Amino acid sequence: MNTKEKFNQLAADITTEIIAELEKGNIVWEKGFNSISLQSANNYFSGRVYEGFNQFYLSYKAQKNNYPTAQYISFKQVQQLGGYVRKGEKSTPVIFWKVSKYSTCNKSEAGEEEVKKVFTPFIHYVFNVAQVGGIEFKTIKYELSHDNNIIDTCASIIAQMSNAPKIKHQGNQPAYSPIHDVIYMPLIGQFNNSKFYYQTLFHELIHSTGHVKRLNRFKDENNVNSSFGSESYSKEELTAEMGAAQLCAYTGILDEKLKENGAAYLQGWIKALKNDKTLLVSAANKAAKASKYILNIIKTGSGGEGQLKMDAPLRYLPFE
């Protein structure tokens, strides 16, 4: 198989795995961003923090396999440190992208030469440090914080979001309107607890990053207005749910009981995942980008493209 075929096969295999968890009622993107992932899934040898889909999937695998940490290492790196992979252990795939640029031989309205980007996927394999012997790893396990100050952190993130949408507290149904660029929220006292309130607001804030003046995820601004259960609705809801889970993990409020998902939501995601085997990878990357925007780690460039702020403290984020 060529590179593209290998990527498509991997995406299909991973999607099948995630669908099986969803059909059991397990919301893997909430379980993937737990106390383990507060340290950020990273490469033990290089210290590099994994990004986007890799962060989600490696955190999920650490949770599923009860690893005490989300630190990973390649087979070659294990050998360099004088260790060995324990017999019977299986590796976890990670996806990296090579970006190539080429001229289209066309010019823009400003007279500038148009350049297209081509993204080529490359698959590598890593092991969790818990799968390795012969090396004395120095690992740190982080625990979730449950004190009241964490809610203050949620409020601070919302208040400091650049180019934020207007938030109106009215009615009984949380919603984001891309046409008016407004988030509608019930009063905080209408929720069972503050965690539910902030998790819901994070969900709507992730939707708002799709607006044309932010990350421009809604090309025709129909995504969040599509009918419930439709393909476009499911894609955007998956992005918003994963992004909200990331922000909840970042602020320390995520726990197993934070959100009870209805069967209709699950069925909507399952259908979309079955129809598009690359959706999970795409949604995880979009969710990470949206979360970074809310945290002011990326800025909006021309045309609504999100650009990474080079001075951002990436190492300490749970969804790189």
Note the pLDDT of residue 29: 65
- List C-alpha distances in Å: 275 to 15, 24, 235, 238: 10, 19, 11, 14
* Residue 292 CB-half CA count within 13 A: 28
Note the pLDDT of residue 166: 94
In order along its 320 residues, the chain shows pLDDT tens digits of 788 888 888 888 988 888 888 887 676 665 444 444 445 789 999 989 888 889 889 988 988 887 888 899 999 999 999 999 999 999 999 998 888 877 767 766 666 777 777 878 889 999 999 999 999 998 765 554 333 334 788 999 999 999 999 999 887 788 999 999 999 988 887 777 788 889 889 999 999 999 999 999 887 445 455 544 456 667 788 899 889 888 988 888 876 555 454 445 566 677 778 888 888 888 889 999 999 999 988 655 434 444 434 333 332 333 33
Note the pLDDT of residue 258: 52
Q: Which amino acid is at 256?
A: E
Residue 248 Rama label (left phi>0; alpha psi -120 to 50; beta): alpha
The span from the CA of 278 to the CA of 266, in Å, is: 18
Note the pLDDT of residue 268: 67
Q: Is 161 exposed, middle or buried (0-12, 13-18, 19+ CB in 10 A)?
A: middle
The span from the CA of 306 to the CA of 39, in Å, is: 24
Domain boundaries, the chain: 1-26+147-310, 35-143
- List C-alpha distances in Å: 32 to 18, 51, 54, 55: 11, 14, 11, 9
Note the pLDDT of residue 35: 44
Query: CA 10 from chain center: how many Å?
Result: 18
Q: Which two tokens stand for residue 171?
A: 């009615």
Note the pLDDT of residue 113: 73
Residues 6+ apart with CB under 8 A from 282: 235
Handedness of CA 136, 138, 144, 148 (dihedral sign): positive
Contact 157, 251 (CB under 8 A): yes
